[in-house]
Structure 1
């Protein structure tokens, strides 16, 4: 089950479409959907988590805690809406596109993809692009 939680004023406009897409991503990786929680927050909220749990004194757009057991993926994915908005401007993409990239990025970590070295990061970007192409909003 995919859940969306909000620790700030932000709300997804299309929760059902996003959840359906993320479920499709999970199936496309031959995984089973466990409990996946997305928590939308601001920079301060995520910075505190980064300090407390990872001992990193930096701002970031996403932190994912992986509780996957075998093929059933589960986890908590914290997303700073402020970082996503800034990154969208920096990368010259829409906020919605950057948000979808961050959403799927956390999910791909649960599927076993890493991004700590250049080779892994290249594969992660490729997978993000592949999964982003699966998203279709029904009008």
Structure 2
């Protein structure tokens, strides 16, 4: 995870649940996804090293195996970015971090959002998984609301900018 503990101990269980729900949504029932919660400086280094992108971001996913029913990979998520974006959009840091975990897990499970024709399917999947986690206000604070109402921050590449 991270060298610093998450703000609340139950966040670890919530992260595990987010991975499980997102994996199941895509039809995976076995496997392992490691999640590292870090800061903007470290995620920027990882982004530069592995993707040749010299900026911080919200989540980076690495897929290792995606043959149903087994899914394996790693996620790196920035708690700093989650704190900044949650404050900007007006919902909890925990929900923002869970959205990154769901988003990254869906990427590992084969979904993409780079092209317009598949982006809506990713957004719909994120909303459904977040709602399955009991986060009902995803409709008001989730990815679509941010894309419409928040101007892009060109210093980073957040999922929703």
Shift in CA distance, 16/9, structure 1 to aligned 2, threshold 3 Å: closer
Counterparts of 2:7 and 2:30 in 1: how far apart (Å)?
23
How high is the TM-score relative to the length of structure 2? 0.74
Once the two structures are TM-superposed, the CA of residue 67 in structure 1 deviates from its matched residue by 0.8
Shift in CA distance, 12/118, structure 1 to aligned 2, threshold 3 Å: farther
Once the two structures are TM-superposed, the CA of residue 17 in structure 1 deviates from its matched residue by 4.1
Question: What SS does the aligned partner of 1:66 have?
Answer: strand
Structure 1 runs (4+) deviating above 6 angstroms are: none
- Answer yes or no: is 1:8 the counterpart of 2:9: no
| RMSD, aligned CA | 1.9
Counterparts of 2:32 and 2:51 in 1: how far apart (Å)?
22
Shift in CA distance, 21/104, structure 1 to aligned 2, threshold 3 Å: closer
- Which stretch shifts more, 20-29 or 119-128? 20-29
Give the alignment partner of residue 36 of structure 1, picking from 33, 36, 47. Answer: 33
Report if the CA contact (8 A) 2:61-2:104 is conserved: yes
Counterparts of 1:46 and 1:110 in 2: how far apart (Å)?
17
Report if the CA contact (8 A) 2:60-2:77 is conserved: yes
Give the alignment partner of residue 84 of structure 2, picking from 68, 83, 86. Answer: 86
Counterparts of 1:82 and 1:35 in 2: how far apart (Å)?
25
Matching of residues 28-67 of structure 1 within 5 Å: 28-67=25-64
Q: How many residues align?
A: 133
Q: In structure 2, what is the equivalent of residue 22 of structure 1?
A: 19
